[in-house]
Amino acid sequence: MLARDVSLVCLADGIVGLSFGALTVAGGLPVWVPVLMSLLVFAGGAQFSAVGVLLGGGTPIAAAATGLLLNARHVPFGFAVADVLGKLRFAGAHLIVDESVAFTLAQSDPARRRAAFWASGLSLFVVWNLCVLAGTLVGRAIGNTDALGLDAAYPAVLLALVLPALRDRGTRRAALLGGAIALATTPFLPAGLPVLAALVGLVIA
């Protein structure tokens, strides 16, 4: 059951990884950016957001800040799975993503939780990075993404990533308020900063 579920999630993540690699390179960034980012960051939502800021003309600092803020949820994730990491906690911390945490917490005993974390975390890490690399090759072949309408893929993927969280009323209110703030400040702020300004919605909501 666990192997089947992990395989299905890996398949879905692999498709997203392919699109990330392709769109990043086709958007004008060098191949090493998505490849190195995937190895060092390994967080799909944060990577899409950071690259979106860069391709929109934002600074690397704004891109990094956006990614870090999106990954702030990994702090409570770390506490939730701390018991399964043991002496390998520094290596394991790099594998803490939504999916590996979900698989871990779904298990009933410590041994199963440990197995679920490492099996899902390592599998997702390998699949994600291989597919991002493959995607960069596709992106170089595509070249002009605007001609194919792929410029809309970044917001579409990000929307798909956040949709499950929007079932919660408080989260939905914060997202709508943040979106309104981003739209209102876009004409006045440099590229990348409206995304950071949107985080005010989290505080107000």
The residues, ordered by sequence, that sit 6+ positions from 125 with a Cβ below 8 Å of its Cβ are: 42, 94, 95
Residue 201's pLDDT is 63
| pLDDT tens-place string over residues 127-154 | 999 999 999 998 887 666 555 555 555 5
**Poorest-pLDDT segment among 96-100, 156-160, 167-171:** 156-160
Q: Which long-range contacts (CB under 8 A, 24 or more apart) does 146-153 make?
A: 150/22, 150/23, 150/26, 153/19, 153/23
| pLDDT tens-place string over residues 75-108 | 888 888 888 888 888 888 899 988 888 888 888 8
> Where do the structural domains in the chain lie, given as residue ranges?
2-163, 168-205
Q: Calculate mean pLDDT across residues 153-179.
A: 68
Distance from C-alpha of 128 to C-alpha of 18, rounded to nearest angstrom: 8
Residue 85's pLDDT is 84
| pLDDT tens-place string over residues 5-61 | 888 888 888 888 888 898 888 888 999 999 999 999 998 888 988 888 888 888 888
Distance from C-alpha of 194 to C-alpha of 114, rounded to nearest angstrom: 40
